[in-house]
Amino acid sequence: AQSVTQLGSHVSVSEGALVLLRCNYSSSVPPYLFWYVQYPNQGLQLLLKYTTGATLVKGINGFEAEFKKSETSFHLTKPSAHMSDAAEYFCAVSEGQAGTALIFGKGTTLSVSS
């Protein structure tokens, strides 16, 4: 069965600092991996995705993530945090078949201080 583990339920950084949100997955087949962001009182917005090909994927708002098969990881990074990045971030995995539902991690709350 697939599963997603997000290490650290809360991450705090200063504005301008590196953002690193950790995600590890378990899957019996090559996974498709996603990061979503949820701002307060809003739905989920897709940040980026990995399906096949290049293992370093770039998303919106300056975020990127690297798929590391040997480490079963898909960590999310951003070189310089902005106050507007404060939100809840969810890592998700699917088995890649059309229409397969996503399995979500528990989420990481990112706080950014000035």
54 or 101: CB nearest other proteins: 101
In angstroms, give the least distance from the CB of 15 to other proteins: 25
25 or 34: CB nearest other proteins: 34
Distance CA 106, CA 5 (A): 7
Q: CB–CB of 47/37 below 8 Å?
A: yes
> Which residues are near other proteins by CB under 8 A?
32, 34, 36, 41-46, 49, 51, 90, 94, 96-107
34 or 74: CB nearest other proteins: 34
In angstroms, give the least distance from the CB of 16 to other proteins: 28
Computed from CA positions of residues 64, 19, 112, 109, in that sequence, does the dihedral angle turn out positive or negative? positive
In angstroms, give the least distance from the CB of 89 to other proteins: 11
β-pair type (87-94, 32-38): antiparallel
58 or 79: CB nearest other proteins: 58
In angstroms, give the least distance from the CB of 86 to other proteins: 16
Determine whether 77 is exposed, middle or buried from the number of CB atoms within 10 Å of its CB (0-12, 13-18, 19+): middle
Distance CA 40, CA 91 (A): 17
